[in-house]
């Protein structure tokens, strides 16, 4: 470790939890305005060559079988891209997800952070055997245990910190004080290096060490060294206290960017002839530091495969022996069984040698990937109750969600849902004949793994299930989360229920009961 280190950059409290990077400033986010989905947009270009699957030793039928299996298992996929031998051979997005959209990656972020660690080590900023406590004397507890003193960078990389249990990113996200100090509060029960315990706290400290030794956030450090050369733009990476990227999570980027991460590793750290990562580092990240399980912030799979894996199913899967990569965004419940039941069932088995071309299968694959849809088509509906409740305010007694009032304003084409809570007034524009897309500030953290950005992109639709029940679907298209919101009207009363497709904790909020305000 260097004797002197640059200071950690300052960031204002307002900017702590959301910092846009890669040419996408927060100022560029549209105001709270709305537009119908389906408006013409330029074709998205990612710079990667395309090829028929058969030309790269993959049958179109095998890809269709993978998609069929995922559908039969009710695994909610949002996008996929399959690459082999220098070419994208298949890709698809389930509407309303699109190639140009960012998607929250959760713990896939860990495998990006470790790229910065490898670069910083190659630059001589620190070493694998440097002790974690040596970087942050200002945050150390009054008493440093022998186990804490012994913890080294390599223990963070391999998730063998000596901690007894994991720390999820959702635990620290609400904390505005130093997360480094929080790390040092965790008891180091076991000798570092002796026991694997997966924890986001370890990756956070890797990000903190990168920042302490380079004077830049992990994202800023990677931008000229990796993101720019690889054409990775338009991403966002949250920044926590002390200007430090969370490291373990907080990165949102496009599906193709996850694919490029995998391609970089499949090509032994090279990109267009430029050595981004050393081959030795790439070899290290998928070496079995924890036997048959974990490398350096990458999970080990069967048959030499290894993958970056984010909660709810964000993947970059590298098949080095077959020179192939599969990237996925999804909304999968924890422990859904997707890896063994679908992913590794079909890959790498699908990668063969010479494959006979089948125009029928190729045409079927093209048709399938052009028409992928997350939700069934909308059914326009109406109810006489709409006219009676439209524009009426419903007030709510004190409740855990701190909701004060709601209002629904109906037109033939849309419903504007308005909610007031302790954070302010929030709106969602809901399409009644076709989905509407826009931005909203509505609270979602309890259902969204404790993420609560200031603005969320949402595609919303609504229908009357019966005369008194109005159901809205809010798809937060830069994340895995899709909320189902049910409003039941009975006389002057509104019963409000909200649930989500996936979460790390509760998937439903308590029912709220409101009463029409007296005029």
Q: What pLDDT, in 10s, does the model give residues 47-68?
A: 999 999 999 999 999 999 999 9
What residues contact 392, with CB distance under 8 A and at least 6 apart? Answer: 407, 408, 516, 517
pTM listed for this prediction: 0.90
Quick one: pLDDT at residue 32?
27
CA-to-CA distance for 132 and 341, rounded, in angstroms? 39
CA-to-CA distance for 101 and 290, rounded, in angstroms? 35
CA-to-CA distance for 79 and 265, rounded, in angstroms? 21
Residue 15, CB half-sphere, CA atoms under 13 Å: how many?
16
CA-to-CA distance for 19 and 325, rounded, in angstroms? 29
- DSSP 3-state of 315: strand
At CA 140, angle to CA 138 and CA 142, rounded to 5?
115
Q: What is the mean pLDDT of residues 427-433?
A: 98
Quick one: pLDDT at residue 450?
86
- Split at pLDDT 50, 70, 90, the class of 466 is very high
Quick one: pLDDT at residue 260?
98
CB-CB neighbours of 120 under 10 Å: 23
What residues contact 487, with CB distance under 8 A and at least 6 apart? Answer: 406, 408, 469, 470, 471, 472, 494, 495, 496
Nearest to 144 by CA among 154, 153, 134: 134
CA-to-CA distance for 479 and 457, rounded, in angstroms? 9
- Split at pLDDT 50, 70, 90, the class of 43 is low
Quick one: pLDDT at residue 10?
32
Q: What is the mean pLDDT of residues 411-431?
A: 97
pLDDT at 40 over 90: no
DSSP string across 186-207: S-B-S-TTS-----HHHHHHHH
pLDDT at 331 over 80: yes
CA-to-CA distance for 110 and 308, rounded, in angstroms? 8
- Spatial contact of 277 and 98, defined as CB atoms under 8 Å apart: no
Over the stretch 91-138, which tens digit does the pLDDT of each residue have?
A: 999 999 999 999 999 999 999 999 999 999 999 999 999 999 999 999
CA-to-CA distance for 449 and 400, rounded, in angstroms? 17
Quick one: pLDDT at residue 175?
82
Angstrom distances, CA of residue 316 to CA of 81, 82, 401: 10, 10, 36
pLDDT at 21 over 80: no
Quick one: pLDDT at residue 176?
84
Nearest to 163 by CA among 121, 110, 202, 221: 202
What phi and psi values does residue 196 have, to the nearest 5 degrees? -85, 125
Lowest mean pLDDT among 60-69, 161-170, 269-278, 432-441: 161-170
Quick one: pLDDT at residue 423?
94
Q: What is the mean pLDDT of residues 140-152?
A: 97
- Split at pLDDT 50, 70, 90, the class of 44 is confident
């Amino acid at each position: 470790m260097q004797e002197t280190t640059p200071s950690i950059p300052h960031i204002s409290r307002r900017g702590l939890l959301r910092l846009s990077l890669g040419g996408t400033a927060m100022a560029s986010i549209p105001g709270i305005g709305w537009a119908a989905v389906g408006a013409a947009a330029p074709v998205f270009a990612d710079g990667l060559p395309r090829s028929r699957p058969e030309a790269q030793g993959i049958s179109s039928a095998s890809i269709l079988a993978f998609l069929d299996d995922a559908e039969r298992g009710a695994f909610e996929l949002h996008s996929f891209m399959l690459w082999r031998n220098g070419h994208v051979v298949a890709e698809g997005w389930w509407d309303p997800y699109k190639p140009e959209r960012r998607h929250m990656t959760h713990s896939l972020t860990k495998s990006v952070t470790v790229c910065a660690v490898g670069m910083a080590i190659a630059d001589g900023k620190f070493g694998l055997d440097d002790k974690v406590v040596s970087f942050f004397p200002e945050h150390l507890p009054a008493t440093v245990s022998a186990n804490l003193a012994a913890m080294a960078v390599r223990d963070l990389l391999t998730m063998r910190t000596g901690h007894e249990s994991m720390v999820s990113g959702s635990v620290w996200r609400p904390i505005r004080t130093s997360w480094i100090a929080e790390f040092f509060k965790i008891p180091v029960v076991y000798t570092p290096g002796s026991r694997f315990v997966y924890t986001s706290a370890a990756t956070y400290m890797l990000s903190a060490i990168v920042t302490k030794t380079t004077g830049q956030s992990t994202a800023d450090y990677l931008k000229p060294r990796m993101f720019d050369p690889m054409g990775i733009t338009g991403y966002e990476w949250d920044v926590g206290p002390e200007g430090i990227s969370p490291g373990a999570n907080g990165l949102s980027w496009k599906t193709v960017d996850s694919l490029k991460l995998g391609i970089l590793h499949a090509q032994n750290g090279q990109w267009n002839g430029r050595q981004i990562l050393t081959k030795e580092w790439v070899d290290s990240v998928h070496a079995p530091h924890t036997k048959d399980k974990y490398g350096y912030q990458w999970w080990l799979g069967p048959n030499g495969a290894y993958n970056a894996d984010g909660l709810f199913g964000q993947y970059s899967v590298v098949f080095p022996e077959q020179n192939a990569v599969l990237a996925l965004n999804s909304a999968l419940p924890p422990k859904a069984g997707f890896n063994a039941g679908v992913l590794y069932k079909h890959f790498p088995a699908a990668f063969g040698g010479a494959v006979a071309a089948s125009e029928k299968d190729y045409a079927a694959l093209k048709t399938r990937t052009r028409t992928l849809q997350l939700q069934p088509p909308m059914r326009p509906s109406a109810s006489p109750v709409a006219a009676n409740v439209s524009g009426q305010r419903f007030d709510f007694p004190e409740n855990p969600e701190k909701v004060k009032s709601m209002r629904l304003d109906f037109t033939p084409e849309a419903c504007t849902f308005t909610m007031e809570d302790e954070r302010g007034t929030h709106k969602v524009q809901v399409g009644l004949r076709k989905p509407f897309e826009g931005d909203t500030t509505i609270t979602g953290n309890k259902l969204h793994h404790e993420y609560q950005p200031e603005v969320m992109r949402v595609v919303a639709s609504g229908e009357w299930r019966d005369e008194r029940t109005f159901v809205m679907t809010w798809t937060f298209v830069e994340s895995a989360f899709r909320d189902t919101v049910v409003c039941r009207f009975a006389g002057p009363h509104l019963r409000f229920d909200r649930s989500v497709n996936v979460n790390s904790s509760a998937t439903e909020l308590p029912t709220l009961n409101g009463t029409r305000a007296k005029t």
